[in-house]
Chain A
Amino acid sequence: MQFLREARYTLHVAFHPFDGFWDLKYEERGRLRIALAILLGVTLTMILKRQFSGYVVNFNHPLSLNSINELKYIVFPFLLWCVANWSLTTLMDGEGKFREIVVATGYAMLPLILVYVPNLLLSNVITLREASFYYLLESVAYLWFLWLLFVGTMTVHQYTVMKTIATMLLTLVVMGVMIFLGLLFFSLIQQFVSFAYTVYQELALRR
């Protein structure tokens, strides 16, 4: 029952973002488990969407569908966003804690479920001519998500509008930097390992 009440509150956040995100932070109404449940829900929605969208709008090669990819393209960017945003706002006088950032980002993703699921059902009965409505709803969901993310970031860190926009753009840059460093790190480790292995081989095979 408690969980259901918390889940219902996400709707309030989606429809009244300023009030909602404020309460999430200052009235302690944000729940990590709800944020993670939404993340899971979005992942599931995307998997279903790829598989079961109507044929008219579904351009996925059935043989190339892979649910693991959704982890790569949703869960990983989510975590990356949160970490990047936290790292950045810590330096930029943001008031948000890491947990608050995760909660705000998670709650902001709700429109994706709210719109994509009915849209998925709708897509099965529309023709090519009506497909533009489908794409319109897709864009609406996306813009709504961005709007919530914007308001969420602004509220959590208590920023001005311009600073929020700048922070969000910078967060994207930081995400890129993190990916670059990650790749660099793994590539270096690989080099180390192969070097050590070569040395070992050289010694082991020497007589």
Chain B
Amino acid sequence: MKQALIILAAALLLASIRPAAATAAPYEGYVYSWWGEAVHSPIAYLPSRSITGQEAGGEPWQAANDLFAAADGSLYVLDSGSGTIIVLDREWQLQDRIYAFERDGEPDSFRNPEGLFVTPSGHIYVADTDNSRIVELGPDGEFVREIGAPQSDVLSAGFTFFPRKVIVDKAGRIYVIARGVFDGIIEFDSDGVFTGFMGTNRVAFDPIDLFWKTVSTQEQRDKMIRFVPIEFNNLALDGEGFIYTTTADRTSLSPVKRLNPSGIDVLRITDAYLPPIGDYARVRSTFVDIDAVGSGVYRALDSTRGRVFTYNEDGSLLYVVGGLGNQRGTFRNPVALANHEDRLYVLDRDLGRITEFAPTRFGELVNEANALYAGGKHHEAAELWQEVIKLDANYEMAYVGIGKSLLRQGEFKQALTYLKLGNDRIYYSKALAKYRREYMQENFGFYMTILLGMLLLVLIGRGLARRQRKEAKAHAVSQGS
């Protein structure tokens, strides 16, 4: 009786011990399994701090549209409403506020600028949208030059230049996305001379439209909607000089592109059934901003559900951060994202607020493991993937990572288990081929013996049967029937 009571008490005690709740986050972590089902996963990033215009010491941001994180960790915010650039340092102290500059002795300012970019040397490029120009400012906010509308025969006569986003590569070439330009990214050389378009989106057309177009008359055709490619809505530069672009097209299967210098999409998508398009839901994600993180990882900001999707270089989803809502860590109208080291910043236009996210233990592990994995250090990565599995037993990429490492170590049988759990058929098949060969080499003697034995038995059996039949015949003959 006493024993029973003690056991009961122990059981109750055990039941009352619950793991301490992780810091509550106003959103859920998930990834997609191989089957395309959303699977819970630990939260990878948690909001660590946030700042609004007033908190930065100044006016509230009326319509902040772009955000840039410089290499030293300072943040550049572009408030389109007041045409101001706000510079915050690492500790988020107000460093500078640029709302006017002097051009040729005349005071000048921005009108509804929508994009900015800061070069490593500290030069600020602003897409001064309603003034139809790109403005370059020096590190201290002094005017350097302006680049006006591109001059070219390929542009139609009524073309007006509304630059929205701008980036500058290492060689000083300037890439601009402008409103209503469907030919792709506008490219200027380092002197600001228009050189051409790159990376046009393909026209999406549907056979039914094509049919109607072929049977309709010229007048009817003129009244139809023109089939034009969808314009890019944002772009970002990665460490290798490739350009990531996003397209706000909910029908496209390639809203994210990675353009090489000649404008060809080289984005790697390993699983064609699960391309990097955000949520696999009926209402698709709309990517509005993208940023490269390093070792092939990029993050895309979805305005439909206010989530940041982080993909690795194979196009596999690593984790999802954020959501729409009114709590810290959620957004009302997220418009831009930026990265510095392992931090993630999201700018919310309606709330006029920047939120900083810091990685949790899970996020750190995934980042680190993925970086090692991308660098080909499979064994080091596998150790971290083991840790990831402890936190999330449903994380398929971790199983694949471990499986590949085991495969290289020659542990074929174990590799099979892990690769199956990770749903990687290609590597599973490779491991199987190796395992099969190894198994047959070890057990060849055994199976051969069995085979030969069976063959012998069959032969003997046949011989016996034949003799019996012969004897039966002979017997029948001798009986004289």
Q: Which residues of A contact B (CB under 8 A)?
A: 55-56, 61, 125-129
Contact = CB atoms under 8 A, between A and B. Distances in A.
Given A56-B432, A61-B35, A128 B426 contact: yes
Contacts of B420: 55
A91 to B, nearest CB: 41
Given A125-B432, A125-B436, A127-B433, 4 more contacts: A56-B432, A61-B35, A128-B426, A129-B433
A55 B436 contact: no
* 3 tightest A-B CB contacts, nearest first: A128-B429, A127-B429, A127-B433
Interface residues of B, dominant DSSP: helix
A27 to B, nearest CB: 26
A128 B425 contact: yes
Nearest to A59: B425
A128 B430 CA distance: 8
Nearest to B432: A127
A182 to B, nearest CB: 31
B30 interface: no
Contacts of B35: 61
B442 to A, nearest CB: 15
B377 to A, nearest CB: 26
B436 A129 contact: no
B436 A56 contact: no
Nearest to A58: B425
Q: Which one of B420, B426, B428, B432 has the greatest number of beta carbons of chain A within 10 Å? A: B432
Contacts of A125: 432, 436
A121 to B, nearest CB: 14
Nearest to A128: B429
A69 B211 CA distance: 41
Interface in B76-95: none
Contacts of B436: 125, 127
Nearest to B33: A61
Contacts of A61: 35
17 contacts: A55-B420, A55-B425, A55-B428, A56-B425, A56-B428, A56-B432, A61-B35, A125-B432, A125-B436, A127-B429, A127-B430, A127-B432, A127-B433, A127-B436, A128-B425, A128-B426, A128-B429
A73 to B, nearest CB: 21
B400 to A, nearest CB: 14
Contacts of B428: 55-56
Q: Which one of A56, A126, A127 has the greatest number of beta carbons of chain B within 10 Å? A: A127
A55 B425 CA distance: 8
Contacts, number: 21
Interface residues of B, number: 10
Contacts of A56: 425, 428-429, 432
A128 B429 CA distance: 6
B325 to A, nearest CB: 31
B451 to A, nearest CB: 16
B398 to A, nearest CB: 18
Interface in B395-430: 420, 425-426, 428-430
Nearest to B431: A127
A128 B426 CA distance: 7
Interface in B228-277: none
A129 B433 CA distance: 10
A15 B109 CA distance: 90
Nearest to B426: A128
Contacts of B429: 56, 127-129
A127 B428 CA distance: 8
Contacts of A129: 429, 433
Contacts of B432: 56, 125-127
Nearest to A63: B35
Contacts of B425: 55-56, 128
Interface in B267-311: none
Interface string B333-345: 0000000000000
Contacts of A126: 432
A125 B432 CA distance: 7
A127 B416 CA distance: 12
A61 B428 CA distance: 17
Contacts of A55: 420, 425, 428
A125 B429 CA distance: 9
B96 to A, nearest CB: 56
Nearest to A61: B35
Contacts of A127: 429-430, 432-433, 436
Interface in B195-212: none
A126 B433 CA distance: 8
Nearest to B35: A61
A61 B426 CA distance: 18
A127 B35 CA distance: 21
Nearest to B420: A55
A55 B426 CA distance: 11
A55 B403 CA distance: 15
Q: Which one of B420, B425, B430 has the greatest number of beta carbons of chain A within 10 Å? A: B425
A56 B433 CA distance: 11
A126 B436 CA distance: 9
B165 to A, nearest CB: 42
Nearest to A57: B425
B432 to A, nearest CB: 5
A98 B433 CA distance: 50
A129 B426 CA distance: 10
Nearest to A64: B35
A126 B426 CA distance: 12
A81 B257 CA distance: 51
A147 B276 CA distance: 46
A175 B69 CA distance: 66
A133 to B, nearest CB: 13
A125 B426 CA distance: 14
A179 to B, nearest CB: 29
A152 to B, nearest CB: 33
